[in-house]
Structure 1
């Protein structure tokens, strides 16, 4: 895989050539409403100055309330990417999530499907602007944003291309399995606690999936945990270890699981959704990502799209990058705030060059 990455990087060319032009950019605060008038979205639209026609991207954030700049662990990921792309001839609209900044609504009651609706609302707004070409509007999604942008693209022909940054291309249940297994494997837990973590996570996820549309989910999850706990207590006694430090956060997990977001996400059907997408897709993942596994998700972008007849999919695994596409050493979440550098310059160049080749 590393050899193929090197080939891709060389062909993309990260240094500016004589033909490349760096534009000054405009950065304007914008506001628009949902079709029913219930939500107001606040955002920022950056555009290259002096360029009459250009592709336009709409940002979709990952899980958790985020502002328009994509501020995560002290890094303004979306602002950095948007600035670079606009300087290279591509407009970018990024908005505050529901309940954040200038955007109204309640984030906690929204689902991945609602975030897809928000993206389509943003596209509808852009289509009504005389300075935006409606034929070249695409979506760029980070993490869960990969799933929400896929839902939007499967639903609407207004989406002309997709760019996934550490984006989810697994079904919700599979994503939960894989993500938690990877986080447990990378943790400092002793092996016997890793075994217990994987066991209870798997059991609880299966029950949550089974009862995702049921009013009895909360009862079933608590019953399942209590049954497992009896068996686990007996298992721990066989280890002859004095103190048991393992704790499964049963209360907080159940509170999350019975909410609308979790019920929707755990049922997300990636093969069906991505199989319905007919537009070009670029998917980039860091090989040190502990939240969205590079190999399995990149493979899914290709195979699920191909199953639906779409072979216009480019996937790139970047060495040494974490979930935020930052260069890392330990690559765990605790390191994020310590990283001084920004988004990998290679990633920025790949996005620009792919758009130049595919969309213009």
Structure 2
């Protein structure tokens, strides 16, 4: 997810099937398919367990920022690690390059979260066209903003049979911006008076962007809101009797980004209405040290919003000591990620694998 500033641990009783503890060889094949309107060609990798005829399949949906099919972030190939582990344990995964990356065409910068949901459904449609994939066992896995994208996709299509959220967003766009940036500010080394100023201007700008997201006057309204705050803030800073003011809000960059289609769509995204439409099983996992997608708030929303729509089949887990990429961390900020030697949490991988098999087993019992 993007930012603009410089609950317990719960596991449902998930029993693993001894048959699924078998380690399979992995076949990873390059694949290509088109969007529903034939305008975009997707390049990806389908990883499958060798020698297994029946298996569930996941489509990986990335978070904010152009990413390759392996989910390469700060030296960590997060999606490749997940796909390899799951395929070794009998679960297939399709992961693709984002729009404008690698073998995938299209322009990432003009796409919205809604477009990424359509991309996920294009991947589902491709899997359904293959004879080696069971259409009744296709689910989506979303990371970060990908949590919103898979929610939109599942709310719109009955082809999606289950969801797995890893640090996935289950907050509305405005709330997510406010919470994410407040958490980043709180964890920063800024003096208290600059933390106060950061939270104040962030709230003003985010709420203004939300109010005028559909308006042609958005740029003017944002600049006006900033100038009004700046006058008051300059007067406030003088009362502090501090010689130099080091605080800067990136007003130009923020306004330019806010004018784009992605931000206009995202700031208006309503997670409560979207998730209430989802009728399939959901697993949501977060690390408790995630500064980008707050664990407690988002995990609670997955459950509560789904319940509003009558969906009680939601399992949530908060795993201690993990950051936004589900890596073990100490400072847990973005600067630390490239220094972390460990890979994606084995605890999270095991939980995902066991939940998928239990979910499929429960579904069979009720058929």
TM range (shorter): over 0.9
The Cα offsets for residues 43-93 of structure 1, whole Å up to 9 and x where unpaired, read as: 000000000010000000000000000001110000000000000000000
Q: For each residue in 1:211-257, what CA deviation from the matched residue of structure 2 results, as whole angstroms up to 9, or x when unmatched? A: 00001000110111111101100000000000000000000000110
Match of 2:291 in 1: 290
Displacement, 1:359? Answer: 2.0
Which residue pairs with 1:341 in the alignment?
342
The 5 A counterparts of 1:75-114 are 75-114=76-115
Q: Take 2:333 and 2:218, find their aligned partners in 1: how far apart are those partners?
A: 32
CA–CA distance in 2 between the matches of 1:18 and 1:43?
29
CA contact (8 A) 1:286 1:318 kept: yes
Structure 1 residues 34-49: aligned runs within 5 Å? 34-49=35-50
By how many angstroms is 1:113 displaced?
0.1
Per-residue displacement from partner, 1:112-133 (whole Å, max 9, x unpaired)?
0000000000000000000000
CA contact (8 A) 2:15 2:358 kept: no
Give TM-score, length-normalised by structure 2: 0.95
3-state DSSP of counterpart to 1:105: coil
Matches within 5 A, 1:111-126: 111-126=112-127
Instruction: Please name the residue that 2:365 is paired with.
Output: none
Deviation at 1:12, TM superposition (A): 4.8
Report if aligned partners of 2:127, 2:135 keep a CA contact under 8 Å in 1: yes
2:269 alignment counterpart: 268
The unaligned stretches of length 5 or more in structure 1 are: none
| 1:247 counterpart = 2:256 | no
Counterpart in 1 of 2:180? 179
Indicate how the Cα distance of structure 1 residues 18 and 161 shifts in structure 2: closer, same or farther if over 3 A, else same.
Answer: closer
Assess if the C-alpha contact under 8 Å between 2:60 and 2:141 holds in 1.
yes
User: Per the alignment, do residues 19 and 205 of structure 1 end up closer, same or farther by CA in structure 2, a change over 3 Å counting?
Assistant: closer
SS at match of 2:182: helix
Distance 2:173 2:179 in 1: 10
Give 1:62's aligned residue.
63
The match for 1:210 is: 211
Describe the SS at the equivalent of 2:37: coil
Q: In structure 2, list runs of 5 or more residues that go unmatched.
A: 1-6, 362-367
SS at 1:132's partner residue? coil
Tell me how large the CA RMSD over aligned residues is: 1.3
Please list, as runs of the form range in 1=range in 2, the aligned pairs for 1:344-355 lying within 5 A after superposition: 344-355=345-356
Counterpart in the other structure of 1:32:
33
Kept in 2: contact 1:12–1:349 (CA 8 A): no
Structure 1 counterpart SS, 2:225? helix
Could you say what secondary structure the match of 2:232 adopts? helix
- Give aligned pairs, total: 355
Partner of 2:321: 320
Contact 2:14 2:358 in 1 (8 A): no
Query: SS of the counterpart of 1:338?
Result: coil
How far 1:17 moved relative to its partner? 5.8
Contact 2:44-2:69 at 8 Å conserved across structures: yes
CA distance in structure 1 between the partners assigned to 2:199 and 2:89 by the alignment: 45
Tell me how far apart the structure 2 counterparts of residues 190 and 172 of structure 1 sit (CA, whole Å). Answer: 28
* Contact 2:20 2:90 (8 Å CA) reproduced: no
Inter-CA distance 74–192: structure 2 relative to 1 (3 Å threshold): same
Output the CA distance in 2 between the equivalents of 1:315 and 1:35: 33
Q: TM-score, normalised by structure 1?
A: 0.97
Measure the CA separation in 1 of the matches of 2:156 and 2:360.
20
Q: Distance in 2 between matches of 1:19 and 1:52?
A: 13
